[in-house]
Structure 1
Amino acid sequence: MNDNLVDAVISPKGSLSVLSRAEVGKLLDASQGGLHRLLRSCALAVLNSGAAMDDGRELLERYPDFDIRIVQEERGIKLELKRAPADAFVDGRMIQGMREHLFAVLRDILYVSEQIVGNPSFDLSTSEGVTDAVFHILRNAGVLRTTMHPHLVVCWGGHSISREEYDYSKVVGYQLGLRGMDIGTGCGPGAMKGPMKGATIGHAKQRITGGQYLGITEPGIIAAEAPNPIVNQLVILPDIEKRLEAFVRVAHGIVVLPGGVGTAEEILYLLGILLHPDNAGMPFPLIFTGPASAKDYFAQIDDFIGVTLGAPARRLYRLIIDDPAQVAREMQTGIERVRQFRRERDDAYYFNWLLHIDREFQRPFVPSHENMAALDLHRDQPPHRLAAQLRRAFSGVVAGNVKDEGIRAVEARGPFQLHGDAGILEPMDRLLAAFVAQNRMKLPGKTYEPCYRIVR
Structure 2
Amino acid sequence: MEKKETINASVAPKGSLEVLSQIEVEKLKQVGENGLYPLFRKCALAILNTGSDSDNAKTIFESYPDFEIEIIQQDRGIRLELQNAPANAFVDGEMIASSREMLFSAMRDIVYSETEKCSRGTDLNSSIGITDYVFQLLRNADILHAGEHPNMIVCWGGHSISNEEYAYSKEVGHSMGLRGLNICTGCGPGVMKGPMKGATIAHAKQHFSQSRFLGLTEPDIIAAEAPNPIVNELVILPDIEKRLEAFVRVAHGTVIFPGGAGTAEELLYLLGILLDPKNQSVPFPLILTGPKSSEPYFQQLNEFINDTLGFEAQQKYQIIIDDPERVARIMAQNVEKVRQHRRNYNDAYYFNWRLNIDISYQQPFIPTHENMASLVLSSNLETHQLAANLRRAFSGIVAGNVKETGISAIEKYGPYKINGDESVMKPLDNLLEAFVLQKRMKLPGSNYVPCYQLVR
Q: Summarize deviations over 1:152-198 as a string: whole Å, max 9, x none.
A: 00000000000000000000000000000000000000000000000
Mapped to 2, the partners of 1:205 and 1:408 lie a distance apart of 47
Counterpart amino acid of residue 415 in structure 1: P
Mapped to 1, the partners of 2:410 and 2:441 lie a distance apart of 16
Mapped to 1, the partners of 2:431 and 2:67 lie a distance apart of 39
Contact 1:127 1:359 in 2 (8 A): yes
Mapped to 2, the partners of 1:226 and 1:80 lie a distance apart of 21
What TM-score do you get using the length of structure 1 for normalisation? 0.99
Counterpart amino acid of residue 375 in structure 1: L
Report percent identity of matched pairs. Answer: 59
SS in 2 for 1:405: helix
Q: Which residue of 2 aligns with 1:80?
A: 81
Q: Summarize deviations over 1:124-159 as a string: whole Å, max 9, x none.
A: 100000000000100000111212100100000000
Contact 1:25 1:32 in 2 (8 A): no
Q: Which residue of 2 aligns with 1:274?
A: 274
SS in 2 for 1:160: coil
Mapped to 2, the partners of 1:356 and 1:163 lie a distance apart of 37
Counterpart amino acid of residue 56 in structure 1: A
Counterpart amino acid of residue 69 in structure 2: I
Q: Which residue of 2 aligns with 1:330?
A: 330
Deviation at 1:438, TM superposition (A): 0.5
Counterpart amino acid of residue 321 in structure 1: I
Of 444-453 and 30-39, more deviation after overlay is shown by 30-39
Mapped to 2, the partners of 1:13 and 1:417 lie a distance apart of 48
Counterpart amino acid of residue 70 in structure 1: I
Q: Which residue of 1 aligns with 2:99?
A: 98
Deviation at 1:69, TM superposition (A): 1.7
Mapped to 2, the partners of 1:344 and 1:284 lie a distance apart of 15
Mapped to 2, the partners of 1:332 and 1:75 lie a distance apart of 46
Unaligned runs of 5+ in 1: none
SS in 2 for 1:9: strand
Mapped to 2, the partners of 1:16 and 1:277 lie a distance apart of 42
Contact 1:285 1:331 in 2 (8 A): yes
Counterpart amino acid of residue 114 in structure 2: S
Contact 1:26 1:32 in 2 (8 A): no
Q: Summarize deviations over 1:206-232 as a string: whole Å, max 9, x none.
A: 110120000000000001000000000
The aligned runs of 1:43-442 (5 Å cut-off) are 43-115=44-116, 117-442=117-442
Q: Summarize deviations over 1:48-73 as a string: whole Å, max 9, x none.
A: 11111101101100000001120111
Mapped to 2, the partners of 1:405 and 1:14 lie a distance apart of 34
Q: Which residue of 2 aligns with 1:20?
A: 21
Deviation at 1:14, TM superposition (A): 2.5
For the aligned residue pairs, the C-alpha RMSD in angstroms reads 0.8
Deviation at 1:383, TM superposition (A): 0.4
SS in 1 for 2:356: coil
Residues 32/408 of structure 1: CA separation in 2 closer, same or farther (3 Å cut) = closer
Contact 1:44 1:84 in 2 (8 A): yes
SS in 1 for 2:221: helix
Of 143-152 and 92-101, more deviation after overlay is shown by 143-152
Deviation at 1:414, TM superposition (A): 0.5
Structure 1 residue 42 and structure 2 residue 43: aligned?
yes
Mapped to 1, the partners of 2:210 and 2:62 lie a distance apart of 38
Q: Summarize deviations over 1:251-305 as a string: whole Å, max 9, x none.
A: 0000000100000000000000000000002110000000000000000000000
Q: What number of residue pairs does the alignment pair up?
A: 455
Q: Summarize deviations over 1:49-103 as a string: whole Å, max 9, x none.
A: 1111101101100000001120111211001110001100001100000000000
Mapped to 1, the partners of 2:27 and 2:187 lie a distance apart of 27
Runs of 4+ in 1 over 4 A off after TM superposition: none
Mapped to 1, the partners of 2:4 and 2:413 lie a distance apart of 34
Q: Which residue of 2 aligns with 1:448?
A: 448
SS in 1 for 2:453: strand
Deviation at 1:120, TM superposition (A): 2.2
Deviation at 1:119, TM superposition (A): 1.7
Deviation at 1:3, TM superposition (A): 5.4
Structure 1 residue 11 and structure 2 residue 15: aligned?
no
Mapped to 1, the partners of 2:242 and 2:4 lie a distance apart of 37
Deviation at 1:33, TM superposition (A): 1.4
Contact 1:401 1:451 in 2 (8 A): yes
Unaligned runs of 5+ in 2: none
Mapped to 2, the partners of 1:118 and 1:108 lie a distance apart of 14
Deviation at 1:2, TM superposition (A): 2.5
Residues 3/224 of structure 1: CA separation in 2 closer, same or farther (3 Å cut) = closer
Contact 1:172 1:328 in 2 (8 A): yes
SS in 2 for 1:220: coil
SS in 1 for 2:220: helix
